[in-house]
């Protein structure tokens, strides 16, 4: 009996020792038992209903409303362990008498070498403030433009901060003064360039709150032929999430969104991804660009499909994404 008891104790101790090791041999949970990090329509809706609420008065740069948005985003960063890249989350700039703030959070990469290369993800959190009055409403809440892209960048930040699955480091960058001519992103891109940041790629999420037609790719990328970014993302996604939009070049979309200053400063693959194609939403710069018109299941689906795409790109041992000759 004593012999059987001794064997049982030995087996139990060995079992406990194995359980404390993860799949990589390090102490901690195995990836298969780790808590799943979910991007849900409910969480997205909660953020949207604040950022696109009348309380924020259209989020014009320099307004009280955009300051409330900035505080909301800062608190989101803090809650989700997204660290400030600068001394604080704020990158401050002046436009005449106006003071604007970009918000910059960082998730450090987990590879000792690759963590020195940065992936920049972003969206603009400002909007136009007031628009043409409709049914006594003059507040242009900017749900699709671009609270939707802002929330996507925030959710990617939360995911990677919790999963710690990124070998390269990530900057989550949210800009003001986009509606004034890409002034916020221009300031931040110049500042990061001057600091010598080792950048790899940049993606700007611009108006992803509504789905495209069923026969179209889920999203499209501006400047599609300027790099091989879209095919690389689709390879890791396992499907065509990011497609080609023929009118993007005609509309000069590559130059009209916050990706462009980063391309100009760093000469690197920098694109905007959108699901708004000018046929599927009637309220661009309109007071009816409201939270209740967003498709939250679509947004959650898009973000979740993009996670393995981003993960594959940011964890590849070499820089697969390169500029084309266009």
Residue whose token pair is 């005449």: 96
Per-residue confidence (pLDDT) for residue 20, from 0 to 100:
35
Separation of alpha carbons 68 and 309, rounded Å: 32
Q: Do the beta carbons of residue 199 and residue 275 sit within 8 Å?
A: no
Per-residue confidence (pLDDT) for residue 76, from 0 to 100:
98
Q: Note the helical H segments in the chain.
A: 2-19, 41-51, 64-79, 148-163, 183-194, 229-237, 247-250, 259-266, 296-315
Which is nearest to 268 in space by CA: 218, 313, 219, 208? Answer: 313
Per-residue confidence (pLDDT) for residue 309, from 0 to 100:
98
pTM for the model stands at 0.89
Element (H, E) at 202: strand 199-205
Which is nearest to 269 in space by CA: 229, 311, 232, 221? Answer: 229
Per-residue confidence (pLDDT) for residue 99, from 0 to 100:
97
Per-residue confidence (pLDDT) for residue 199, from 0 to 100:
98
Separation of alpha carbons 11 and 8, rounded Å: 5
Which is nearest to 118 in space by CA: 173, 72, 40? Answer: 173
Q: Do the beta carbons of residue 121 and residue 103 sit within 8 Å?
A: no
How deeply is 86 buried, as exposed, middle or buried, from its count of CB atoms within 10 A (0-12, 13-18, 19+)? Answer: middle
Residue 155 has a CB neighbour count (10 Å cut-off) of 26
Per-residue confidence (pLDDT) for residue 17, from 0 to 100:
40
Which is nearest to 165 in space by CA: 269, 60, 34? Answer: 34
Print pLDDT tens along the chain (326 aa): 444 444 444 444 434 443 333 333 333 333 333 468 999 999 999 999 999 999 999 999 999 999 999 999 999 999 999 999 999 999 999 999 999 999 999 999 999 999 999 999 999 999 999 999 999 999 999 999 999 999 999 999 999 999 999 999 999 999 999 999 999 999 999 999 999 999 999 999 999 999 999 999 999 999 999 999 999 999 999 999 999 999 999 999 999 999 999 999 999 999 999 999 999 999 999 999 999 999 999 999 999 999 999 999 999 999 999 999 76
Per-residue confidence (pLDDT) for residue 35, from 0 to 100:
61
Fold of the domain built from segment(s) 40-315? Aminopeptidase (3.40.630)
Residue whose token pair is 């400002």: 126
Residue 256 has a CB neighbour count (10 Å cut-off) of 16
Separation of alpha carbons 174 and 125, rounded Å: 6
Per-residue confidence (pLDDT) for residue 177, from 0 to 100:
98
Q: What is the CA radius of gyration of the chain?
A: 22
Per-residue confidence (pLDDT) for residue 242, from 0 to 100:
98
Separation of alpha carbons 174 and 185, rounded Å: 8
Q: Do the beta carbons of residue 261 and residue 182 sit within 8 Å?
A: yes
């Amino acid at each position: 009996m004593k012999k059987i008891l001794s064997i049982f104790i030995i087996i139990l101790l060995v079992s406990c020792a194995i359980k404390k090791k993860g799949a990589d041999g390090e102490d901690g949970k195995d990836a298969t038992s780790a808590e799943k990090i979910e991007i849900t329509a409910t969480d997205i809706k909660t953020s949207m209903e604040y950022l696109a609420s009348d309380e924020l008065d259209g989020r014009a740069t320099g307004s009280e409303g955009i300051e409330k948005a900035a505080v909301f985003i800062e608190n989101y960063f803090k809650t989700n362990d997204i660290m400030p890249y600068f001394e604080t989350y704020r990158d401050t700039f002046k436009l005449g008498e106006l003071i604007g703030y970009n918000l910059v959070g960082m998730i450090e990469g987990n590879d000792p070498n690759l963590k020195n290369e940065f992936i920049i993800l972003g969206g603009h959190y400002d909007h136009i403030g007031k628009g043409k009055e409709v049914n006594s409403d003059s507040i242009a809440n900017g749900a699709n433009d671009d609270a939707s892209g802002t929330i996507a960048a925030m959710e990617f930040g939360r995911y990677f901060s919790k999963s710690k699955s990124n070998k390269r480091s990530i900057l989550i960058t949210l800009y003001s003064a986009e509606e004034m001519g890409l002034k916020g992103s221009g300031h931040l891109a110049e500042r990061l360039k001057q600091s010598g940041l080792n950048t790899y790629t940049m993606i700007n999420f611009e108006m992803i709150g509504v789905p495209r037609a069923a026969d179209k790719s889920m999203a499209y990328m501006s400047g599609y032929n300027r790099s091989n970014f879209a095919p690389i993302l689709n390879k890791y996604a396992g499907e065509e999430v990011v497609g080609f939009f023929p009118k993007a070049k005609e509309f000069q979309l590559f130059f009209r969104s916050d990706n462009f200053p980063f391309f100009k400063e760093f000469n690197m693959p920098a694109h905007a991804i959108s699901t708004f194609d000018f046929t599927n939403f009637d309220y661009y710069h309109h007071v009816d660009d409201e939270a209740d018109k967003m498709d939250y299941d679509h947004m959650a689906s898009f973000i979740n499909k993009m996670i393995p795409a981003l993960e594959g790109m940011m964890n590849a041992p070499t820089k697969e994404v390169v500029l084309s000759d266009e």
